[in-house]
Each structure stands twice: as structure tokens, then as C-alpha cells.
Structure 1
Amino acid sequence: MDIILNNLVILPILLPLATGALLFLLDDRLRVAKSTISLVSSLLLLLIAVSLLKSVDANGSVTRTYLLGNWPAPFGIVLAADRLSALMVLLGSILAICAQLFSLTRWSKAGPAFFSLVQFLIMGLSGAFLTGDVFNLFVFFEVLLAASYGLALHGSGPMRVRAGLHYIAINLAASMLFLIGVSLIYGVTGTLNMADLAVRIPTVAAENRPLLEAGMGILGVAFLIKAGVWPLCFWLPTTYAAASAPAAALFAIMSKVGIYVLLRLSLLLVGDGSGASAGFGSALLLYGGMATIAFGTIGVLASQGMSRLAGYSILVSSGTLLAAVGLGLTQVTSGALFYLASSTLTASALFLLIELVERARIAGADILAVTTEAYGEDEEDLETEEQVGIAIPGIMAILGIFFGAAALLLSGLPPLSGFIAKFAMLHGMLAAQMGAIPASTWVLVALVIISGFAALIGMTRLGISTFWTSLEGAAPHVRLVEITPVAILLSLCLLLTVWGGPVMRYMDATAAGLSQPQQYISDVLETPRIGVETGGEAVH
């Protein structure tokens, strides 16, 4: 039974890889067949992700491993699934299904190979979350980035092409830093297996440690670029705002890949048991995260367009998570994981919702709204108009309800999951400190609260100009297949609220396993080879 469960680990990589290759060979005119195959594959991936999550959480702290080529660790490449990686694969599969559903009416026809690009992106994401090898992580990063380049440019248009080219250039530079950092780490330690690195780093000689930490620092900068830390984040709001709605919805998890790797490696390689390198880079993560929250908050308040506001909201969530990782407190990490799940689902829903809402907006509506607010309406118009109220079409009412739910989630107000996540983080920051609470913690608490109020102000301002003024055109034409993904994502946030207790227990267990990685290390390094005798018995 364990062999069958361990084989689940490679399926989230093989399934989208095979599906993407098959779809690439089919003619683009066979849109119905391609969309059906892609959606069925993504639904199967969702079932696999749920099964994987249940298997790693069934019997305490379990890490499912798969030896590629049946080579023993650390000499061969190992895939490893624990609670954190299973959670991230599940999130990726959910976003893939929702983005593809939304694209059926329009965006899948706007360019070639859309569904193949989605499948290759999911394959790269799954591989990055499941790999136990740093160089293999680089390979999967390049796969998902290559697919994301196509999705960022999907649909063409000057603004999209310009933002997409900037995105490509910045990520190519980050990939070069990634490769340099990996080379330095391998030159010092002689291994790139994550578990084996955790064993060897404490024993690195003092004269080699500066080179090791230089490699880890360069590697960290590459991840920070992908996570959108300030001041390396100026590309992110523009790229996300310019991308098509389904691509932006998928990109909501892209910045979380860098955060996932930083969380994984910071606790595994430079945690409490890493000798002289313990805590390396934690201060940079903390203060860089706080600077990112401040920058994102200013952007949210200054944004006059919904897409820009959503892009800056991604920065606020990235900064919050980076600062939480920098604190290195288990209680804060568990709340941050809850926040990661909630904010990713919310951001994805918001990007899809924005396109539906903006179909009803006349060109320049945001500027007109600001002008009206600054200079007021003409007095003669006020005298002649005797409107008591404005009739709101049914679809606008539904979109308004969804927009209000997204505003509550982004701002962290009760009763939805955004509030639970922020409350858990803030409680962890204040309760887990020994003795006097540092000034940096108080600053972080203030930034998290202020960023929530800023999101509420920004969303309320845009909501009023969209749903409560007469500056808009006709009600948008929205199909059921387009509104369904938004409803699914927001319903999942509601389920996170209703099941807050069980979900929080899962996050607590995940954070505890990350902070004490001995079980992960032994599970990876002691993975038995199939068909090789161990202790007198053959493993089948």
C-alpha cells in the first residue's frame, strides 16, 4: 500500500506533462476536444492532490517519497511530498480548473496552445513543490517560467507585450542568479539534495562557510525576485494587470512559489540545527517583507484601476508571508500558511471578477470618477435630475456581492477566512515571543493592520465608482461558465472559514514539521529502493 501511495508523488508531474504534450499535437481548431481533455486532466490532478494530502496527513508526520530511476538518495533525484507540498499542489490544481473554465468562452481562442501552456505551467508548479533536489528545482522553475511567458503574452496587445517582455527579462536574470547560487552551494557541499544539504551544512569548515553563505544569499535573491520583494517588485503589478484574466488568476500562485522555497529552505538549511549558519538571512526576510507590505499598501491606496489594485494586493500578501517567514516562529508560520491559502484563492477570484466587472465600465470611468469626486457635479444637472435611485441589474448585484466578499477577504475583516488568517498570525507574533516583544514585531503588527484598512479603502472606493454611480455603461454580458469559477474560489474561502478549526490544525502540524525537519530528512535519505533487499527482505 505504501508503494502505491508513494507512486502518487510523481503523478502530479506526469499527468500535466502528458496532457500538455498531447494537446500541443492537436490542431487548435479542435477547441472543444482540447478543452475537454485539459479539464478532465485537471480534475484528475485535483483528485490526486486530495489523495496525496490525505495520505501525508493520515498517520502523523509522513513524507511520501519517490526515487527517480530507483537511484538511492542522495545520489539520485528524489521527489518528496509532505503536508506543505501537498497543500501547494492542491492549490495549483484548483486554480488551474477555475482558470480553464473561465477561459472557455473567450480567452482560449485568443492565441495558440493555451491549454498546453496551462498544463505545462501546472507541471512546473507541481514539480517545484514536490522536488527534493535544488537543481531539479531549477529545472522545474524554468519549465513553469517558460509556460508563464506564453501565458503573459497570450492575447497580444501593446500593453500586454510590453509588460510580458519586462517580465521575461527580469525572470531570466533571476534564473541566472539561481544557477550561480546553486553552483556555489554544490562547490562547497558536494550535494544538491535538500535533505542531504541539511545534514552537511552544519559540518562545513569555517573557511568555506563564507562561500556557502554567498551561494545561499544569491539563491535567496533569485527567490525574492520571484516572490516580489521590494525593491525588486516593480514588474509584478504591471505584469499581472496586463495579463489576461485566466493567466493572472494562475499567476496568483506564482509569487507563492518563491515564498514556498524560502520557507522550505530557511527552516531546513539554516534553521536552529544548522550550526554557524543558523538564522542566515532571516533579518533580510523580515525587514524586506515589511518594506514590501508598506510599498504594496501605498500602491493599493494610489491605484485607480481594479487590476492595478489586485496586483499591489499580491505584493501585500507576499510581504506579509516573507515577514512571517523571517520571524521564524512556529505559531506565526501556521497562521501564515492559512493566510497563504486564503490570499491565493482570493487573489485568483479577484482577477477573474475584475474582467467581468470592467465589461460594464466605459473607457476612462476611473478617471471620471476621480474628477467627479474632486470637482463635484454641475449644479444645473443636480437641479434637473430627480433620480431617487438607480436600478441595479441582476448580474451587477451578483458581481457586487462577490466584490464585497473579496473586499472582506483582502482586508481581513470578519467573518471570512482572511480575518482568521490574520488573527492567527497576529496572535502568534504577540504570544510566541519570550519576554519583551521587539519593536520590529510591533511594526509588523501595525503594517498588517494598516494594510488591511488600506485594502478596505481601495476596494470600497472602486466598488462605489463601479456599482453605485451612473458613470457606467450597460450591464455586462456574463455567462454561467465565467461566473462559476469566481463562485467556486470564493466558496472555498467560505469553507476555510467554516472548517477553520480542522484547517488550522493541519497548518499547525505543517508548521511544526517544517520547524523540526528531522523526520523529513530521515524519510528522504532512508527511502528504500524498489526490488533491493533491505535487512534480509526485498522491497517490492
Structure 2
Amino acid sequence: MPLSWVQHLILAPILVPLIVGAGLVLINERHHQRKFLINLAATLSMLCTAVALLLLTDQEHWPAGIGVYLSANWAAPFGVVLLVDRLTAVMLLLSSMLASASLIFAMTRWSRIGVHFHSLFQFLMMGINGAFLTNDLFNLFVFFEVMLAASYGLVLHGYNTTRIRAGMQYIVVNLLASFFFLIGVALIYATAGTLNMTDLAGRLEGLNPEDLVLLKIGVVILALAFLTKSAMWPLGFWLPTTYSAASPPVAAMMVLMTKIGVYVLIRLWLLLFSEGPAAGFGFDLLLVGGLATLAFGTIGILASQEPGRMAGYAAVISSGTLLAAVGYGEPALINVALFYMISSTIAVAAFLLLIELVERIRVPGAAMLALTMEAFGLEDKPGEPVGKAIPGALAFLGLAFACCALIITGLPPLSGFIAKFGLFHTLLDTSSVGAGIDLITWIMIALVVLSGLAGIISLMRFGVRTFWAAQNPAAPHLQRSEVMPITALLLVCVLLTAQAGPTLAYLERSAEPLRQPALYLDRLEASQTVDGSLTEAAL
């Protein structure tokens, strides 16, 4: 029997940007408004699709909340298999929210200063969504390359000398990562005879010790590509420079791209190494690498003076915390780590969009004046207290900056604090982590606390020099299309704070199946091809 329209929703996040991106290439750049509206309509449709998939998976429309789509009617594991579960749905929702905010922010300026911005934006979304949905390592490579190819053009969009230099570094690093990706995929296929991630987990039991060692080597080489994208130390040296050089809407999307590497590592590592003959492999390396990344990001953000580099190192700190949480190897940490990932990703993206607006009120000599006053202990003499109204634009910038700083550093009362408190509570809960609290737990807690403290110092220093050192800064002219996306992203963080309980419960339901490869294998085997039409045995 034919598939229902609900089943085709799994394909929509890939098909829509592919068709729209190709169609936008044919429209002349003079029709900018038309191209923007088409791009926005496609992006909002992906947002609606993500919400629908989130509800369908959580309500278990498919058995166990796992939907399988057999592309081109090829039976698994030979064909391209798309898979959606609760975690995939929440990542699709996160990507579509950030894409909508970035696109609206780019409407008045950044999408107009170069050619084919809208097509590249849609191809980027195709690659991102495909990386979330695919259940096959080779097709993951394909979607990664589509995503990276589009990001190369977007990083260089509206080029200048700084952007070209950072873009060339970004391209070279990712080409090397792609090379490691291919080598890892080839070793895995030569060993196991499959690249379907679910099928691969089922074949580990049948591998002899020599093949298992070779497969582990292939997975490690493959992981180098993901860890480079995740900015793990020392592979993430490129990230702060690229973030600070890229245009704000592109930099905001790159925050999400950094988390794709973490997402793939979470799914692949928990699927392959939670149980069976290779149980526990590589978790210690992820833990040590995550802690080193956390330390590197802490030093970097404390030493940074420019807001773009601060945001870059904040993303490095976020990645380090996530990698350490995954490497810790405790199931109870995963759902809290996912909450932290969502909160930090949204906050850093909002901060990168805000930076351009804040730069409009910065006086070039203000930072030097503030440094001089700090060094020599100079103080302004207090004058007569005169009431003066704060312009609405300045009030918005100050409030938005304060919210971003609170979430990024994990200070109360917003979602960043809840995420870090949840991490500490889980780490210190002996019933969750085992009989006692070991040294590595205290090191991880200390680094998370120090990273927050470094972030407070760095962001407060920037805020003081920007909002207080400048003498009577003129209120900047802000467009609604610039204010609305930042406001919406920060409101999402407020909503996460207010609904932290239900969100954490949903993420717990999302993380639970990741350690059960048999569950995914059963759903894959239940998917059938019938009479040239795709169907699900359960429908």
C-alpha cells in the first residue's frame, strides 16, 4: 500500500531546501525581495515540519517513536535509509529556529551584499537536515560535503581581506577533515561490510578480534572529522578566527554546525559502544579531550578582547562540556547535556547576531580610555545627578547583552544556570554515577565553574567598555528585522527556563533509546518494500 503523507514528512526537510535552493539560482539577483520571501517560506515550512515530527515521535506515531523512510524503495540496509526519532526531531527544530532567525536578520543587509546567498542558505539547510536524518555513514559524508560546500560560499559572502584569510583556513581544515572521513568510512566498510549505522551495531557481535580492532581504528579516524567540526582541542584552532570573521547570520549558523559533530558522536558512540564486544571503547578519550577543550576555551575567552572571538571560545567551551559529558559514560548525563547544548547554542547564536548591533555604539577610543582609567586608577568626578532617559535601542542592546551573558556563563536565573546545575547535580549524585565521586568528577566540575567565571570576567569587561566607557553614546538605528530574531531566540531561552521540567523529561525520553541498538535494528528490519511502494509493517 502507498505511504501516508505523514511518512513523507521525514523526507521533507531534505527535499524542500534542495528544490527551493535550485530554483532560487534561476531567479535574478535584482529580484531580491522575491528571493527572500521564497527562502523564508521554505525555512518556515521546515520549522513547521520539525514541530510535526517532534509531536509524531513523542506520541509514538511510529513504534518506539522511531520513523524509518526507505528512499527509492530500496530495502535496508542496501538503500539510503532516513531515520527520525525524538533526538533527530529536536535537532531539526533547533536548526530551523536558528535558520529562521539568521535569515530574517540577514534580510536588510547581509543577504544583499553578494550573489546566491539564498540558494547557498537553502543548500546549507539541506546538508544540515540530511546529516540529522541519515542513518548511513556514506550518505552522512555526502550531506556533510553539501553542508560544507554551501558554508564555504557563505563564509566568504561579502568578502574582505579578513574574511578571505579566515575562509581559506576554514576550507583547508574541513577538506582535511573530509579526507579522514573517507578513510574512516572505507575501513569500516572493509571490516563490517555495511555503512548503515544501525546494521553496523548489529554486526559487531559477529566480528572476529582482528576485524574488531580494524573497525575501531576506522571509527577513530572517522571521529577525527567530527571532532574537528566539534572544535575539540587541538583540532578547533580554526573556530574563533572563523566566527569573528564571518558575517553575523552565517556565524550564527556555524554555531549549529559545530554541534552537528557532537550530535553524530553522541549517536554513533552510544549506538556502537554502549554494549557488546566493544562496550566502553573511546569514552575515556572523549572525556579527556572534552576536559582539555574546556580548559582551552576557558583560557581563550579570558584572553579575548573582541566579541567575535569571545563568542567563538564560548562555543568551544560548550563543545568541550558536551564531549566531556558524553565521555563520562553515564546515561543520566546525556539528557542534561542535550539541554545544555540547546541552551548554549541558542545563546551564542543570539550573541553573534547582537554583536553587529552593539558595534554601532562602540567608540574606537572607548576601550583604550577604559584601560587607561583601570591602569592609573582614574575616576570621573561625580557631577550633579541629572535624570536622563535611556533610548529604547540602547535599553534593548543592554538587556539583550545581559541575557546572553547570563545564559552563556550559566548564571541564574535563565536556562544556562539550569543546565549547569543539572550537570553538577548528576555528577554529584552517587546513585547515578556510582559508589563514589572520583577525581575526574571534581576536575570536570572545577573546569565548568572556571569556564563560567572566565566568561563572566570577559563579557563583563566588554560590557563595561561598551556601555559605560563611551561618553553619551548615540542611540543606534535598529531595524525590526534585526531586533526580532534576537528577541525571539532569547525568548526561547526564557521558555526553556520556565519549562525546564517538561523539556528535560522529553530529552530523557530522547536519550534513553540511544543505548539500545536492538530497538533501532528491530525498526529497520520491520521496514518493508511492497509492490514498488514504500510502507511500514506497523502502518
TM superposition score category, shorter chain reference: over 0.9
Query: Do the aligned partners of residues 533 and 112 (structure 1) sit closer, same or farther apart at CA in structure 2, a change above 3 Å counting?
Result: closer
Query: Do the aligned partners of residues 331 and 364 (structure 1) sit closer, same or farther apart at CA in structure 2, a change above 3 Å counting?
Result: farther
2:10 aligns to what?
A: 9
2:427 aligns to what?
A: 429
Cα distance between partner residues in 2 of 1:528 and 1:421: 41
Cα distance between partner residues in 2 of 1:243 and 1:539: 47
Q: Which moved more, 1:207-216 or 1:39-48?
A: 207-216
Shift of 1:7: 1.3
Cα distance between partner residues in 2 of 1:85 and 1:438: 33
1:97 partnered with 2:100: yes
Point out where structure 1 has 5 or more consecutive residues left out of the alignment. none
Shift of 1:307: 1.0
1:187 partnered with 2:190: yes
Shift of 1:306: 1.1
Shift of 1:511: 1.3
Cα distance between partner residues in 1 of 2:125 and 2:11: 13
Cα distance between partner residues in 1 of 2:117 and 2:209: 51
1:396 partnered with 2:397: no
1:461 partnered with 2:464: no
Query: Do the aligned partners of residues 336 and 534 (structure 1) sit closer, same or farther apart at CA in structure 2, a change above 3 Å counting?
Result: closer
Q: Are 2:369 and 2:469, in contact at CA under 8 Å, matched by a contact in 1? A: no
Q: What secondary structure is seen at the aligned counterpart in 1 of 2:65?
A: coil
1:172 partnered with 2:175: yes
TM-score by length of structure 1 reads 0.95
1:229 aligns to what?
A: 232
Shift of 1:344: 0.9
Instruction: Calculate the aligned-residue CA RMSD, in Å.
Output: 2.0
Give the counterpart letter for 1:226 in structure 2. Answer: K
Q: Provide Cα deviations, 1:33-65, integer angstroms capped at 9, x if missing partner.
A: 000000011111100000011101102731111
Query: Do the aligned partners of residues 71 and 472 (structure 1) sit closer, same or farther apart at CA in structure 2, a change above 3 Å counting?
Result: farther
Cα distance between partner residues in 2 of 1:367 and 1:41: 46
1:494 aligns to what?
A: 494
Q: Provide Cα deviations, 1:418-471, integer angstroms capped at 9, x if missing partner.
A: 111111222222221111222111111111122112212211111111112225
Give the counterpart letter for 1:155 in structure 2. Answer: G
Q: Are 2:3 and 2:534, in contact at CA under 8 Å, matched by a contact in 1? A: no
Q: Which moved more, 1:170-179 or 1:358-367?
A: 358-367
Q: Provide Cα deviations, 1:67-94, integer angstroms capped at 9, x if missing partner.
A: 0111110111100001111111111101
Q: Provide Cα deviations, 1:233-265, integer angstroms capped at 9, x if missing partner.
A: 110000001100100111110110000000000
Cα distance between partner residues in 1 of 2:533 and 2:363: 71
Give the counterpart letter for 2:505 in structure 1. Answer: R
Cα distance between partner residues in 1 of 2:267 and 2:287: 16
2:215 aligns to what?
A: 212
Cα distance between partner residues in 1 of 2:363 and 2:103: 27
Q: What secondary structure is seen at the aligned counterpart in 2 of 1:65?
A: strand
2:322 aligns to what?
A: 321
1:24 aligns to what?
A: 25
Give the counterpart letter for 1:419 in structure 2. Answer: F
Point out where structure 2 has 5 or more consecutive residues left out of the alignment. none
Q: What secondary structure is seen at the aligned counterpart in 1 of 2:108?
A: coil
1:373 aligns to what?
A: 374
Cα distance between partner residues in 2 of 1:212 and 1:472: 63
Q: Are 2:298 and 2:317, in contact at CA under 8 Å, matched by a contact in 1? A: yes
Give the counterpart letter for 1:98 in structure 2. Answer: A
1:302 aligns to what?
A: 303
Give the counterpart letter for 2:513 in structure 1. Answer: G
Query: Do the aligned partners of residues 392 and 466 (structure 1) sit closer, same or farther apart at CA in structure 2, a change above 3 Å counting?
Result: farther
Give the counterpart letter for 1:513 in structure 2. Answer: P
1:448 aligns to what?
A: 448
Cα distance between partner residues in 2 of 1:453 and 1:87: 30
Q: What secondary structure is seen at the aligned counterpart in 2 of 1:107?
A: coil
2:438 aligns to what?
A: 438
Q: What secondary structure is seen at the aligned counterpart in 1 of 2:492?
A: helix
Query: Do the aligned partners of residues 122 and 534 (structure 1) sit closer, same or farther apart at CA in structure 2, a change above 3 Å counting?
Result: closer
Cα distance between partner residues in 2 of 1:534 and 1:357: 52
Q: Are 1:196 and 1:525, in contact at CA under 8 Å, matched by a contact in 2? A: no
1:410 partnered with 2:408: yes
Cα distance between partner residues in 2 of 1:470 and 1:387: 19
Identity %: 50
Q: Which moved more, 1:500-509 or 1:526-535?
A: 526-535
Cα distance between partner residues in 2 of 1:402 and 1:47: 27
2:259 aligns to what?
A: 256
Q: What secondary structure is seen at the aligned counterpart in 1 of 2:486?
A: helix
